[in-house]
Every structure is written in C-alpha cells, then in structure tokens.
Structure 1
C-alpha cells in the first residue's frame, strides 16, 4: 500500500515537472510573440511554431528554420525557407538574424558558402558588386546565362546544417559593359562586350561600342558584321547605316555601300553626309558624273561642308572640268576657317597643268600658313624650275631637305638638280644618302 502510494507520488512529481517546463516554454514563446509578433505569422502558423518550439525546448528536437532576417540596401526584409535571395551589382546586404525554434539565436549561425572563409556571417556586410565581379572573372558563368547560383546561405544549428537559402546573382549586360570600361586591355574589352551582346540580343548601345573598338583596331570586317547586326535590331538607325557603308567602302564592297546609302537618302533626303558618301562611292568606281551629282547634292544641303567641296573639286579635275574645280577650291579658300587644304590642292592643280606662276602663289600661301611643310617647299622648287628660276629652285629644295632630311624623294630631287648643274660631288653625296635610305634603288 505504501509502495503504491510512493509510486503514485513520484509519477505526480514528474507530471508536475513536465507541466512546469511546458509552462516555462509557453511563457517564453508568449513573451517572444509579444516582443516580435511578426516572427510567428498568423493563424495556423502560430500553432505550428508553438508546437515546434515546444518540441525543441522540451523534447530536445532539432530546431526548424523559418526565415533569415536581413537588411538589403538599407531596408529590412525577410527571406523565408524555400525562397531565393536575388542580388545584383548595386545591392548591399547584411544577415541580421536567423528565425528558428532557437528563439535566443544562441546556437544558430549563417554562413555564405562561396564567399571565402566559412564562418558565421551574421552582421557582416556583403556587396553585390564583389559577387558579380568574382563570377564574371571566373569560369562559373555559362554563355548567355543571366543568373548564376554560385553562392548559398547555409544555416547551422551548432555544427549541423539545417537549411540552405540560395543566392541568385543577376548578371546584366551593363555589368559586362562596366568591366569592359574598367579594363585597359582591348582583347578583354572585346570579350566582355561580346558577352554583353550575347546576353541581350536587342541591345544596340553595347554593339555600337563594340563596333567602334573594332574600327579603332582596323578590324573592318568584324565592325561591319556588328553594324549589320545593329540594323537587324533597328533597321532605320541612320548612324549604323552610314558606319556600315564606310566599312563596305573600305572593304571595296562599293555596290553594297551604294545600295544601303540610296535607301537611306530615300528616307532621309536632307542627309548631307549620306550624299557625300555616295559621291565617294561613285568616285571610287570612277563614275565621275554620278560622283559630281551626289557631292553637289551634299553641298547644296550643307554649303559649309568644305571637305565635300574639296572632294567635288577633285572629281571635277578628273572629269576634265578644270574651271569648275578651281571654283570649288577658291570657295574653300575664301570661306573655310582652315584655308590650308584649299591652297595646297589648288597649287597641285596648277602644277599639274604647268601653270607655274599660279602654283608659286598658292604654295607661298601654304608655307606662310604652315612653315614646316617640306612638301610645299619641294613643290615650290618644282614650280620655280618650270619658270626657269634656278636659284629659287635650289633654295627651296635645300629648305625642303633641311625640314625632312630623311625623305628620300626630296633628296633625290636635290641630287638631280645638282647633277643638272654639273655639281657632281654634291650630286653624288645626295644620291648616296638616297641609297642609304633605300638600298633597293641601286
């Protein structure tokens, strides 16, 4: 009887102890709910959390993971179990705490796997740009992908991993462009820009930058290919049309250049540059009448396009219209802020037509505007020779050689002038200088 009573008392004591522990746990949970009610959610989630917390504290079960309490770009946020954290290069974030049945957080930690040392990263600031750059400069990113799952947030209870929150790092075309701008290596720039283009099949801006780099590297065919791709995206892009036409002209694809430029002026009849380019294309074909037509249209639209006038004058010369050429050269000399090109071209015309006095006048203007122009002094010498002014010829040849002592053509002309005057020693000296520079001329 006494033994039975003792067993009953012991059983009652255990029940009381369990009840006390349960009460303490419930009190803790209730207190936590009052302090941070958002941690538990509503309705059935309350019940679920209470049961799990009871199991953790009373039955010593492993805690359940519910969310990460975080701050991203200065704003609080929560990433729940089963969700993904999206990060781009502008983002900054901190893991503030782990939401689990371990209410105090004493035994839980969070580690960003792939971010270096595996340690507790709660409270550590992370920058998206560091993650983006590390991925882009590694082999982790497959071609064409815009997101990469390299990083993960591992949640630990003591030393046991209880959850994983994936980090999805978003790579944009602007990231490749940013890295291209930061690099001084042209090959690296091209590689990054190609990746940016591949990632965004409709991005015209990145492609124009890439095409520009190809042009600066004299990789004309590759530039043309990129401009053709731009026109696939934006068929009416006038700048791309003209750049593609320039590439075609350099590559000798004259008919192709003419075709796309004619379509352009049909849609944009006031585009003076396009007409000038058509003039250049027909000039390259030696279609002088067509070249004159399109250069003339260009300067009617833009009378101050002096380079186009010079090209028109050159076409007039080649077509035998000397007076028209002279008229254009004189217009440039009179109206252009830089008359040098006009004087030089007009002097060459007069020299070619053996109008030596007029050539002298023109080249005097050239050396007045550009005193170091050795070619102008050499041409003055030729004009003086045509006028029979031997002393002036020698004076200007020697001046040209003094300005360009390494120019074999000028030295050869001086040697010939010495030889014509029976100044053999001086002629030999100059011929030897020519052979020293060009041994193959022997």
Structure 2
C-alpha cells in the first residue's frame, strides 16, 4: 500500500487535490476488488470532499475512515507521520486540522489551521475550515472574518461564499448575505442549495415573488428536497393560496415521510378549515415522529378545546409552552390562552 500512500502524500504536499482524489479512488477500488479495507483511502477521499464543499459525500465516507477506534488510530498515525515529514508544508497541517476536527478535537485543530495559513498564505482552505470551527463555537464575528478571507483569496470558491452568506443571514444581515448567494449561483447555476438559500433570504426580506421563483428553481433542480417543498408551502400559505400550500406540504411528506413540520402544517390548515378530525390525525402523525413538536401539541390542545375537553386541552397547552423556544410563538400561545381566560405561570 506504500505506493498509494506515497503518491497521495506527494499530492497533498503540493496541494493537488484533484490528484489526491484520483489516487485515493484508485486505491479504494483496488481494496474493493480484493475484499480488503484501509481507512486511509477513505480519509483521503473525505478530505477532498470537504475541500470541495461536498459535505454529504464527506459525511457518508466518514464512517469508513474515522468511526472505529482502530481506524481512527491508523489514520492518526498516518497524518502524524505526514506532518512530521513535512512540518513546513501548509497542506500537511490542513489535513491534520481536518482529522482533528472530525475526531472530536475541534479546538485542537485551530492550531494546525493557523499553521497552514502561515505556511500556505494563498490557500483559502485553512481560512474556510477555521471559520467553521469559530461558527460552531458561537464566535460569529471571527467566523465571518475567516470566511471573508477565504473568499478574498479565491473569489470563485463557492463553499466559502455559501457559508459566508449563511453566517450573515444568521445575524439578520440580509443585505450582506444575499449578494453571496447570488455569486454562488453565478458560479454554479445548477446549485439547488444556493437557489434555496437565496429564496430563504429574500423571503425574510418580505420579497415573496422573487423568493417564490428561487424556491421553484431549487425544486426544478432537486424535486425531492422536503425542506424546500415545506418552505415553498409556507410562501403559498402567507399568500393565502392554501390549495398550493397543501400540495407542497404533501410533496414534502412524499419526499420524506418523517418530515414532521409538514404534518403539523397540514394539521393547522385542516383545523382552520374546520376539519378537526383530519387536523388531529395530522398533529398526532407529527408527534409520533417528534415528541417535542410544540406547534403540534398546541394544535392538539386547540382540537380538544373545540371538543369541550378542557383538561386534555390544558395538558397539551402546557406541553406546548414548555417546549416552544420561539418567543413569538410562545406569545401567540399565551395570547390565545388569555383570550379564553386561561393564564398561569410557566
């Protein structure tokens, strides 16, 4: 296997990630033909997927490289040796950082990302992954600074632009988020996630028509995205197009039967139409999937209240209030309770 590791190491040190992927793929195929396995081949593929921003693919292969203790130890030995042989090469420290971050040692990875930045100052990747550590550690300003640096070094690096936009959006800075999402679409017009991100930001700005078009484009590119179906249903619902909202919520469930928010949304539409039995069934389906769905508990309580079953209604209202984290939604529940003359400390 030394021939494979040697070629992969050479490609890593030179920052030739296409070559890393090619060599790791050939190695993986050779292992599969002989019925053997080596977590280092999977880890090399994982690294390239992360650098490309292919996070689903990276996570899928993560289990083949870093899940079992023996695999973790073998990969650790390899990346340690790589860093020892090439202490002055930034890409070896980048790989070490990626290993540590995925091995439950995120803060320890920071030192290696910083070394990679110092040794490979033209590379956007260590800035990108350092930003992710800051973001997960609730250091948003530091994350934004690092993402901005990654974009500055490589304006065409779409994963950094995407995450920068998401970071701005998390701070309600939509004016800064939206241009990033638009740039990602220019770079990758067929990126369904980019269209969905832009749609979400536009919807938050109250620009429903442009948001609608972006959600529709996202679904053209990926028709089976339950979250986008649900979001589009929400747009239709705010426009009082309940027929179209129901269609999208049902499509979300068809794409992912366990997508409980769509069940809850259908429950509320049925309730508001006076279809109490249908509403109760939808709320209960949601609660079967997620026992902490506050909106579904509130819906069940409303149905019981309509049926004159006060104790059962209050039991579900209490659960809803205890579980609801959104202050606006909590206020709505409390307003309803005040309106029916029921108040208490929660």
Greater share of residues in helix? 2
Moved more, 187-196 or 311-320: 187-196
Note if 1:276 corresponds to 2:144.
no
Note if 1:392 corresponds to 2:261.
no
Deviations 1:250-302 (A, max 9, x none): 33444444444444444433322232233123223322112111110111110
Does structure 2 conserve the Cα–Cα contact (< 8 Å) formed by 1:406 and 1:437?
Answer: no
Does structure 2 conserve the Cα–Cα contact (< 8 Å) formed by 1:183 and 1:189?
Answer: no
Distance 1:273 1:195 in 2: 29
- 2:243 aligned to 354, 357, 372, which one? 357
Q: What does residue 204 of structure 2 align with?
A: 318
Note if 1:380 corresponds to 2:235.
no
Q: In 2 relative to 1, CA 189–313 (structure 1 residues): closer, same or farther, beyond 3 Å?
A: same
Q: In 2 relative to 1, CA 323–311 (structure 1 residues): closer, same or farther, beyond 3 Å?
A: same
Q: In 2 relative to 1, CA 437–380 (structure 1 residues): closer, same or farther, beyond 3 Å?
A: closer
The alpha-carbon deviation at position 387 of structure 1 amounts to 3.3
Q: What does residue 37 of structure 1 align with?
A: none
Q: What does residue 289 of structure 2 align with?
A: 404
Does structure 1 conserve the Cα–Cα contact (< 8 Å) formed by 2:203 and 2:211?
Answer: yes
The higher radius of gyration belongs to: 1
Distance 1:372 1:276 in 2: 27
Instruction: Identify unmatched segments of 5+ residues in structure 1.
Output: 1-179
Q: What does residue 179 of structure 2 align with?
A: 293
Counterparts of 1:37-186 in structure 2, within 5 Å, are 184=70
Note if 1:330 corresponds to 2:216.
yes
Instruction: Identify unmatched segments of 5+ residues in structure 2.
Output: 1-65, 325-344
Greater share of residues in strand? 1
Q: What does residue 35 of structure 1 align with?
A: none
Distance 1:253 1:398 in 2: 38
Distance 1:344 1:258 in 2: 29
Deviations 1:6-39 (A, max 9, x none): xxxxxxxxxxxxxxxxxxxxxxxxxxxxxxxxxx
Give aligned pairs, total: 260
The alpha-carbon deviation at position 330 of structure 1 amounts to 0.9
Does structure 1 conserve the Cα–Cα contact (< 8 Å) formed by 2:267 and 2:282?
Answer: yes
Q: In 2 relative to 1, CA 204–184 (structure 1 residues): closer, same or farther, beyond 3 Å?
A: farther
Q: Counterpart of 1:202 in 2: which secondary structure?
A: coil
Q: In 2 relative to 1, CA 434–379 (structure 1 residues): closer, same or farther, beyond 3 Å?
A: closer
Aligned-residue CA RMSD in angstroms?
3.8
The alpha-carbon deviation at position 328 of structure 1 amounts to 0.8
Does structure 1 conserve the Cα–Cα contact (< 8 Å) formed by 2:184 and 2:194?
Answer: yes
Q: In 2 relative to 1, CA 182–394 (structure 1 residues): closer, same or farther, beyond 3 Å?
A: closer
TM-score, with structure 1 as normaliser: 0.50
The alpha-carbon deviation at position 335 of structure 1 amounts to 2.0
Q: What does residue 221 of structure 1 align with?
A: 107
Q: In 2 relative to 1, CA 408–183 (structure 1 residues): closer, same or farther, beyond 3 Å?
A: closer
- 1:368 aligned to 239, 254, 258, which one? 254
Q: What does residue 197 of structure 1 align with?
A: 83
